[in-house]
Structure 1
Amino acid sequence: MMNIPPGIDPDLLRSFVLVAEGGSVTRAALRVGRTQSAVSMQMRRLEEMLGQALLLRGSRGLSPTPHGLWLLDRARRLLAMHDEIVNNFRAPEITGQIRLGSPDDYALLWLPEILAGFAEAHPAAEVEVVCLPSSELLRCYDKGELDITLISGGTEQPGLPSESLWRGPLRWVGSATRPVHLLRPLPLVLSNTGCTWRVAATRALEREGVPWRMAYSSASQTGTHAVVLAGLGVTVGLSIALPPGLRLLGKEEGMPELPDLEIALLRHPGAAAEALADHIRRGFIARPNTAARAA
């Protein structure tokens, strides 16, 4: 008789994904509603089941081993399918309009697959997508003009509980053909004064004593990329899917280190908002971000 290996509890994989992405057992425990010791025990159990070390502790917290990275990619996909199956049978029929906010920096990276999956599961629902900077989205959400919104972590206000969806490094972005990053003062191309990315960039430059000036500003990433492509300044962004003609800049080019970026979710109560929030969570789990984290 053939020996069939025991299956892996999806809860173990869910905790593993959260620990691997957030670099912290404590943060993962808060997300899954368990104690820190319970999640640590889950990680030990998973490693014992698979016979391999999956996580290593370093100066920036826990990070996946090579075996852990292999599992992380597949666990995301498995959990997305698992949750889709479960929610397809449990989810109530959603009708009417749902107002979704998102900075345009994230819209093209994550929303197409998320919205396609939501439309397939809830064909009677209509989603209105509003793309604005995080600070403006927060004001719209606070006034009840949005049912659910994505924002850059650090923008949220006390009294508005948010849910962390993704964490990865913020990077300097410059022209691939023009060494604009060598100019002093450094010409910057960023968003409005309340933008989390702008605050992170200017603080990093000031910390390292690099003189800078605001050359251009734009409320959209498309606008900042256009200016950088013209060789008129440098900007900041994610290390995912840069347009041709742009490149990442780092320590080798004399640019100061930037902090990690967090993407958070805010939602008002209601079945429609929760249904869309669930698709957003699964979309962020399924979307590989190891390239962004390792860059």
Structure 2
Amino acid sequence: MLPAGLDPELLRSFVLIAEGESVTRTAERVGRTQSAVSMQMRRLEEVLGEPLLRRGARGLEPTYKGVWLLERARTLLALNEEIIATFRAAPLTGQVRLGTPDDYALQWLPGILARFGKTHPGMEVDVLCMSSEELVQRLSHGHLDMALLTEGHGRSGDEVWRGPLRWVGPQGGLLHKRDPLPLATAHPGCTWRRAALEALGRNGRRVRVTYNSTTQSGCFAVAMAGLAITISTPTRLPPGLVWLDEEDGLPPMGDMGILLATGEMPLSPGGEALAEAIRQGFAEPR
């Protein structure tokens, strides 16, 4: 928890004094006598082998090394308290209903849910995979506690990710050279589809939506069969698919955001814990 020899009680008293409290006031706050607090400071200096406090015009002040220690002691104490609070807290139990499009589920959720399951074994997470349009309706009717949504569906939420949409095609294929361009995408309400068609329109490319699928796996299957190109956020592509870009004659589509939206009712403590786990999971480097 803390480096060997660094008693958190010593650090707590040191931080109070270094932040301007007198020894008398510090003793009152930590529930010790003045002489006991003075002995704590001597003990801390013995452990570290450096003077940490000096007598100044306003009482005891941190030395140069004391200032260095003060910054890190605050962090150590906060971490110490967080660890203790986490393990002493009553375990969370219950159920959380999470909605997500299948592409986000496959790309991000396995790691997030695995870590959440280890830290909150008493929580049950029900995952429903649907399009963002359908998930918005489920949220509005109280059938979900939270959902990951592609931006642009009239629902506010916390933006957990923003990045580029990219073109995907079969390896070694020449579909991107066809005119009109064959495209596999979702139904007309999909924001990815709209972004792709607008980008192609600005570039003067003719396009024909030859396949519609409500799931990314369906679009990938069509692309793997060599029948159309499709679109995706950056992810690990299945074997047989490659990224396509401007060098292949395809225009950039711009960035797209992923939102974490919650239902009409306040989240339970378990729901709040899952929401935070999702935010942290999306913030990790990929």
TM-score (norm 2): 0.69
Per the alignment, residue 103 of structure 1 pairs with: 101
Per the alignment, residue 270 of structure 1 pairs with: 267
Mapped pair 1:115 → 2:110: no
Which of 261, 277, 283 is the aligned partner of 2:256?
261
Per the alignment, residue 233 of structure 2 pairs with: 238
How far off is 1:282 after superposition?
1.2
Q: 2: distance between equivalents of 1:281 and 1:180?
A: 37
Describe how 1:1-295 pairs up with structure 2 within 5 A. Answer: 7=72, 85=83, 88-89=86-87, 93-157=91-155, 161-268=156-263, 269-271=266-268, 272-286=270-284, 288-289=285-286
Calculate percent identity across the aligned residue pairs: 45
Matched to 2:267, the amino acid is G
Partners of 1:267 and 1:273 within 8 A in 2: no
Matched to 1:192, the amino acid is H
Per the alignment, residue 18 of structure 2 pairs with: none
- Judged with a 3 Å threshold, the aligned counterparts in structure 2 of structure 1 residues 193 and 124 are, in CA distance, closer, same or farther, namely same
- Judged with a 3 Å threshold, the aligned counterparts in structure 2 of structure 1 residues 125 and 213 are, in CA distance, closer, same or farther, namely same
Matched to 2:151, the amino acid is G
How far off is 1:156 after superposition?
3.2
Matched to 2:173, the amino acid is R
How far off is 1:121 after superposition?
2.1
- Judged with a 3 Å threshold, the aligned counterparts in structure 2 of structure 1 residues 9 and 164 are, in CA distance, closer, same or farther, namely farther
Partners of 1:88 and 1:121 within 8 A in 2: no
How far off is 1:178 after superposition?
1.1
Q: 2: distance between equivalents of 1:164 and 1:112?
A: 20
How far off is 1:87 after superposition?
7.7
The structure with the largest alpha-carbon Rg is: 2
How far off is 1:237 after superposition?
0.3
- Judged with a 3 Å threshold, the aligned counterparts in structure 2 of structure 1 residues 167 and 147 are, in CA distance, closer, same or farther, namely same
Task: Report Cα offsets for 1:53-87 as digits up to 9, x if no partner.
Answer: xxxxxxxxxxxxxxxxxxxxxxxxxxxx99x9588
TM-score (norm 1): 0.67
Q: 1: distance between equivalents of 2:84 and 2:127?
A: 26
* CA RMSD after TM alignment: 2.6
Matched to 1:109, the amino acid is Q
Task: Report Cα offsets for 1:75-115 as digits up to 9, x if no partner.
Answer: xxxxxx99x95883586643222110011111111111111
- Give secondary structure in 1 for the equivalent of 2:236: coil
The runs of 4+ residues in structure 1 deviating greater than 4 Å are: 1-10, 84-87, 89-92
Q: 2: distance between equivalents of 1:261 and 1:9?
A: 38
- Give secondary structure in 1 for the equivalent of 2:108: helix
- Give secondary structure in 2 for the equivalent of 1:248: strand
Give ranges in structure 2 of 5+ residues lacking alignment. Answer: 1-48, 51-64
Partners of 1:188 and 1:235 within 8 A in 2: yes
Task: Report Cα offsets for 1:210-229 as digits up to 9, x if no partner.
Answer: 10111101111111001001
